[in-house]
Chain A
Amino acid sequence: DADVTQTPRNRITKTGKRIMLECSQTKGHDRMYWYRQDPGLGLRLIYYSFDVKDINKGEISDGYSVSRQAQAKFSLSLESAIPNQTALYFCATSVGGQGIYEQYFGPGTRLTVT
């Protein structure tokens, strides 16, 4: 079984609709992240959470919100989807602490907003 799972894997929605992307992990990591990837661009950080009570904005948080329901679950919501939110979305996890730790990514959700 995959350590980091994302649902749905693909989603097509209409402009103005609310949509939620979900992420679950079995790695036992404290830190969770949401990224988006656009064609020809690297991954950009949307939100991150260091534990259940800690939520922080990343570099491109406008138009998005998140919820950390449990250590293992981190959801990303688009309250009113717009076409330029069409992208590949990745959830990632890492251990906490003072060192630099690699992040482990889920398989991604391809979102299309029409």
Chain B
Amino acid sequence: DQQVKQNSPSLSVQEGRISILNCDYTNSMFDYFLWYKKYPAEGPTFLISISSIKDKNEDGRFTVFLNKSAKHLSLHIVPSQPGDSAVYFCAASVSGGSNYKLTFGKGTLLTVNP
């Protein structure tokens, strides 16, 4: 049973436009969410996170939105740049005793075209 779902394997956008990457989860116990970016031949790098007590977190060009009732989060990148082309993983965790465990989605390949 896949608890974190990224239903779009790939996304292509033009430079300067907005990129929206989506993530759905099924486990209502998840209360902390993270986005990672991965370039080829490199490990994933942490991008941005959000706690369930918030519905929005912003860091420069990156904003994560959380809709708890819909069990849905999204990552917005504005404006998109060619260097943003990478695989983006959504991950979720439960605070408390199992706070070490990250459950990852399958990833979305973002391509930003010049």
Contacts and interface: CB of A to CB of B under 8 A. Distances in A.
B89 A103 contact: no
Given A31-B100, A45-B101, A99-B99, A105 B43 contact: yes
Nearest to A92: B43
A42 B104 contact: yes
Interface residues of B, number: 26
Contacts of B105: 42
Contact of B100 (A40, A94, A106, A108): A94
A45 to B, nearest CB: 7
Contact of B49 (A45, A50, A92, A102): A102
Nearest to A6: B43
B93 interface: yes
Interface string A75-114: 0000000000000001010100011111111111000000
A48 B106 contact: no
B107 A102 contact: no
Contact of B4 (A42, A48, A101): A42
Interface residues of A, number: 25
A99 B106 contact: no
Contacts of B112: none
B35 to A, nearest CB: 10
Contact of A106 (B43, B89, B99): B43
A41 interface: yes
A72 interface: no
Interface of A: 4, 31, 33, 40-45, 48, 50, 90, 92, 94, 98-108
15 contacts: A40-B9, A42-B4, A42-B89, A42-B105, A42-B106, A42-B107, A43-B89, A43-B102, A45-B102, A102-B46, A105-B45, A106-B43, A107-B41, A108-B42, A108-B43
Which 7 residue pairs are nearest across A and B when measured between Cβ atoms? A105-B43, A42-B104, A102-B46, A100-B32, A43-B104, A42-B106, A105-B44
Interface of B: 4, 9, 32, 34, 36, 41-46, 49, 51, 89, 93, 95-96, 99-107
